[in-house]
Amino acid sequence: MDVADLLAETRGRYYEALALGQPGMAQSVIDRALSRGASRAEIYLHVLAPCQARIGECWHRGAIGIAEEHLATTITMGVMDFLKRGMEQGPDNGFRALVTPVEGDRHTIGARFVADFLEMDGWEVDCFGNDTPAGDLGEFVRQRGYDLVALSSTLPECLPNVAATTRAIRSQDEPTPKILLGGRALEGQRLDPAVLGCDATAGNPLEAVKEARRLVGVTDGRLTLQEYLALLGGRVRAIRKRHRMTQQELGDVSGLDRTYISAVEQGKQNLTVGALRKIAHALDMPMGELLASR
């Protein structure tokens, strides 16, 4: 049996386990697929995601109740925990992401898919299990210094809330994180992400990782100077915000001008060794750690 047939068979059996509300049966189906050669990533993408989407569709047309939908989601989250524990994680790439459903969207599993794949790619990830009002989310993002915010929208009626959320995130003078949008609400739609204030969209977790890396300036190969400066600038900004420092405060402590700090954080300033040493000292960290390319 080839992988495509194996995944199709697993998908059918896994959906049956979800429909019956049987976590033990669901885990056995996944164990069997792994023993027969399916990869964990393939199971995420070609078994869990489509089965969970099918459960959601059944709930929307009234074929199952909310309790059955919640149980199926709980089972799948447990399987995801199991799969994630056995997947190889990439080295820390120095970037931080927040993954969250958009305001009004109570479907969280899509966000969790993306969060897991970003973590396996080496990102430091916070994932919200509930939607958050746009204003509160914008304030939280400002305080935490993320490089990326990934928004998930399962329901098309929640897409208008994306624009309110992106406005709240971008309502500051300092450089703001890149914003990535994904979710089933985008399927079949020709959507310009800029209209909603986003930098890019993604159709699945693998696309989300690829777009996330592109947005922060990291490629899979050797970094160009521009890419490296973008990575370094993002790291300086994130660490500064963790210390709850403004650009002016970092400039005062390091003896550098605020506009210089701003240019560094935007990846537009080629730094001298002396400037790097001053910034690292002001951030209370080794210069080598600040210079790490991943």
**CATH ID of 3-85, from 1.10.10.2840, 1.20.58.110, 1.10.10.10, 1.10.1240.10:** 1.10.1240.10
pLDDT-derived band at 133 (thresholds 50, 70, 90) equals very high
- What is the mean pLDDT of the segment spanning 48-75? 92
pLDDT reported for residue 54 = 92
pLDDT, greater one: 240 or 187 = 240
pLDDT band, residue 243 (cuts 50/70/90): confident
The pLDDT assigned to 167 comes to 92
Quick one: pLDDT band at residue 30, thresholds 50, 70, 90?
very high
> Residue 285: what are its φ and ψ, rounded to 5°?
-145, 155
Banded pLDDT at 277 (limits 50, 70, 90):
confident
Which whole number is the average pLDDT over 72-92?
A: 86
Q: Which of residues 65 and 268 earns the better pLDDT score? A: 65
Per-residue pLDDT band at 98 (split at 50, 70, 90): very high
Whether domain 225-291 has CATH 3.40.50.300: the reply is no
Residue in the structure block whose two tokens are 């019956």? 20
10 Å CB burial of residue 39 (0-12, 13-18, 19+) is middle
- The DSSP-derived string for the chain is --HHHHHHHHHHHHHHHHHHT-HHHHHHHHHHHHHTT--HHHHIIIIIHHHHHHHHHHHHTTSS-HHHHHHHHHHHHHHHHHHHHTS--PPP-S-EEEEEEPTT----HHHHHHHHHHHHTT-EEEE-SS---HHHHHHHHHHHT-SEEEEE--SGGGTHHHHHHHHHHH-SSS---EEEEESGGGTT----GGGGT-SEEESSHHHHHHHHHHHHT--SSPPPHHHHHHHHHHHHHHHHHHTT--HHHHHHHHT--HHHHHHHHTT-----HHHHHHHHHHTTS-HHHHH---
Mean pLDDT over 242-263 rounds to: 90
The top-scoring range by mean pLDDT among 139-153, 184-198, 223-237, 264-278 is 139-153
Q: Domain boundaries in the chain?
A: 3-85, 96-216, 225-291
* pLDDT confidence bin for 212, thresholds 50/70/90: very high
User: Can you name the CATH fold of 96-216?
Assistant: Rossmann fold (3.40.50)
